[in-house]
Chain A
Amino acid sequence: KNEVEQSPQNLTAQEGEFITINCSYSVGISALHWLQQHPGGGIVSLFMLSSGKKKHGRLIATINIQEKHSSLHITASHPRDSAVYICAVHTGNQFYFGTGTSLTVIP
């Protein structure tokens, strides 16, 4: 069993749609990270959070520590949002990574 599970694995949306990607984890964490990986392979850190909610532009990340669950929301999705979104948790000693959600936004 993976320590970090993401859903859905693949997601296709029409431009403008509201998108939610979910992440559940089974270990105690000090922080959770949402990462964005573009087709070239480079990874950008979107959020690091340990409680509550963070917002950056059209992206919102929430975490529920008791339920060991986090969500990444994208409002008014755009084709440039097409990427793989990876959830990662840090236990204080090491990182565990989800397998990613591949998002395609169609114009």
Chain B
Amino acid sequence: SAVISQKPSRDICQRGTSLTIQCQVDSQVTMMFWYRQQPGQSLTLIATANQGSEATYESGFVIDKFPISRPNLTFSTLTVSNMSPEDSSIYLCSVRTSGGGELFFGEGSRLTVL
């Protein structure tokens, strides 16, 4: 199993500012992902965080808007840059264990942009 600590759990931000979300896993994992869940919507994959190299972004998401770091196999950050009210969402860190393929999620970061 994997226990994921994600912070902040929630924040209220002003338009035009940036916020960095941290994700810490209690074990080394290969596959780490960042998701966005807009109000009333399902989860949308933003990117796969790759250790030691640039993240792999899904269609519609770009590095300038959502820079991601992954310096090691247990930690990653997602920054939401130049925020607008449309960025108000829950952002979730997720890992998938290589052995069993199970999915684990952080507690989510609920972001409100005014």
Contact = CB atoms under 8 A, between A and B. Distances in A.
A18 interface: no
Interface stretch (A20-28, A72-80, A92-100): A92-100
Looking at chain B's contact residues, the main secondary structure is strand
B30 to A, nearest CB: 15
23 contacts: A30-B101, A31-B101, A33-B102, A35-B103, A35-B105, A41-B9, A41-B37, A41-B92, A41-B109, A41-B110, A42-B105, A42-B108, A44-B105, A45-B102, A45-B103, A45-B104, A48-B101, A48-B102, A48-B103, A86-B43, A88-B43, A97-B43, A99-B41
Interface residues of A, number: 20
A90 interface: yes
A107 interface: no
Looking at chain A's contact residues, the main secondary structure is strand
Interface in B48-88: none
B101 A42 contact: no
Interface of B: 9, 37, 41-43, 45, 90, 92, 94, 100-110
A90 B106 CA distance: 19
Contact of A90 (B43, B101, B110): B101
A43 B105 contact: yes
Given A45-B102, A48-B100, A48-B101, A40 B41 contact: no
A42 B106 contact: yes
A42 B42 contact: no
Contact of B108 (A31, A40, A88, A95): A40
B95 to A, nearest CB: 11
Given A31-B101, A41-B90, A90-B101, A95 B45 contact: yes
Most buried by A among B9, B100, B103: B103
Given A41-B92, A43-B92, A98 B42 contact: yes
Given A43-B92, A48-B100, A48-B103, 11 more contacts: A31-B101, A33-B103, A40-B9, A40-B110, A42-B106, A43-B105, A48-B102, A88-B43, A94-B45, A99-B42, A100-B42
